[in-house]
Amino acid sequence: MVAQNSSRILVSGVSGPIGTALLPSLNARGFQVTRLVRGPASGERQISWDPGKPLPPERVSGFDAVVHLAGESIVGRWSEAKKGRIRNSRISPTQHLVESLTKAKDRPRVLITASAIGYYGDRGDEILRENRPPGEGFLAEVCREWEAASQPAAQAGIRTVQMRTGLVLSPVGGALQKMLLPFRMGLGGNMGSGRQWWSWINVQDWVEALHHILKSDLLQGAVNLVAPRPVTNAEFTKTLAAVLSRPAIFPMPAFAARLAFGQMADELLLASQRVEPAKLISSGYTFRHSDLKTALQAILKR
């Protein structure tokens, strides 16, 4: 267990919507937070790093926990250059960080790294718990390699967790913010058939689940970070429109989604991933937001 009073924690990749929620919660619970930052460090609690190179082991020695979230956003049209940035920003930096941690004199007790439910690929109505095998596709391949990059830490005796995160609902940035404008204008609707499963999590639950993982010594390996009630895309769009008091009558056909987003449409928007948080539930985590409507109302203050 990582104690929450004056524990030292090293974090990377916390400038996005998740980091906006995570950092204040770590500070509020008494963690001494040090950030890995690209470019020159501008404060005492920052360590400059080049993700393309291993850090000197002494720079990462003495931390109780490490949370590694850095990576290029997967949102956007997947050109070959974009796909290269997605892959290169995850696998090599994770390998380099893990190499430094395993060589450190005083290793962390726990390493928590990011992953995604993209690991499972497009699986229709199949219920996906952490023991299910990986799927096919670009993102599934990246996730497999990403998770494998952290395995040397586990082999060195560091408790290692890979967080397979679903669609994070946050009021700041992320996919939900991109959906809000068309839905508020009454232009929202299903993606493709609408039958594909979307597995989501409220950002508050994501943060609380991370704290739960920090404290739970028995949690290791892959952990699904999704709410216990996934919904179809049709239900998601209907619920979002209802919370905003708008209609949802303008579907985006699959061909239009592919035209707009390329391969990302097939692997993110149109793919079906019915994921359950089996390990979180069995380890005693209680979700604050397990119902989509109440989760959206909390975020949008409705």
Q: In this structure, is residue 221 part of a structural domain? A: yes
Question: What is d(CA 50, CA 146) in angstroms, rounded to the nearest whole number?
Answer: 18
Q: In this structure, is residue 52 part of a structural domain? A: yes
pLDDT at 14: 85
Q: In this structure, is residue 280 part of a structural domain? A: yes
pLDDT at 4: 54
Amino acid letter, 217: D
Buried b (16+ CB within 10 A) or exposed e, 63-93: bbbbbbbbbbebeeebeeebbeebbebbbeb
Q: Which pair of structure tokens corresponds to residue 301? A: 């203050």
pLDDT at 123: 97
Q: In this structure, is residue 218 part of a structural domain? A: yes
H or E, element range at 7: none
Q: What is the pLDDT along the chain (302 residues), one digit of tens a residue?
A: 665 556 999 999 988 778 888 999 999 999 999 999 987 777 778 999 999 888 999 999 999 999 999 999 888 888 899 999 999 999 999 999 999 999 999 999 999 999 999 999 999 999 999 999 999 999 999 999 999 999 999 999 999 999 999 999 998 877 888 889 899 999 999 999 999 999 999 999 999 999 999 999 999 999 999 999 999 999 999 999 999 999 988 999 998 989 888 899 999 999 999 999 999 999 999 999 999 999 999 999 86
Percentages helix, strand, coil for the chain, rounded to the nearest 5?
40, 20, 40
Q: For 154-291, where are the E strands, in sequence order? A: 159-165, 167-169, 197-198, 200-202, 221-225, 231-232, 274-275
β pairing state of 127-128 and 274-275? parallel
Structural domain boundaries enclosing 83: 8-300
Task: Report the CATH number at residue 20.
Answer: 3.40.50.720
The pTM of this model reads 0.94
Q: For 75-151, where are the E strands, in sequence order? A: 110-116, 127-128
Q: In this structure, is residue 243 part of a structural domain? A: yes
Distances (CA, A) of 15 to 31, 40, 70, 73, 210: 18, 16, 9, 12, 17
Rounded (5°) CA angle 173-274-276: 85
pLDDT at 276: 98
Question: What is d(CA 46, CA 37) in angstroms, rounded to the nearest whole number?
Answer: 7
Q: In this structure, is residue 203 part of a structural domain? A: yes
* Residues contacting residue 266 through CB under 8 Å, at least 6 positions apart: 122, 137, 258
Number of domains in the chain: 1
Q: In this structure, is residue 1 part of a structural domain? A: no
Q: What are phi and psi of 285, to 5 degrees?
A: -75, 135
Q: Is 260 left (phi over 0), alpha (psi -120 to 50) or beta?
A: alpha
- Which DSSP category does 55 fall into? P
Q: In this structure, is residue 3 part of a structural domain? A: no
Question: What is d(CA 242, CA 63) in angstroms, rounded to the nearest whole number?
Answer: 46
Question: What is d(CA 94, CA 68) in angstroms, rounded to the nearest whole number?
Answer: 8
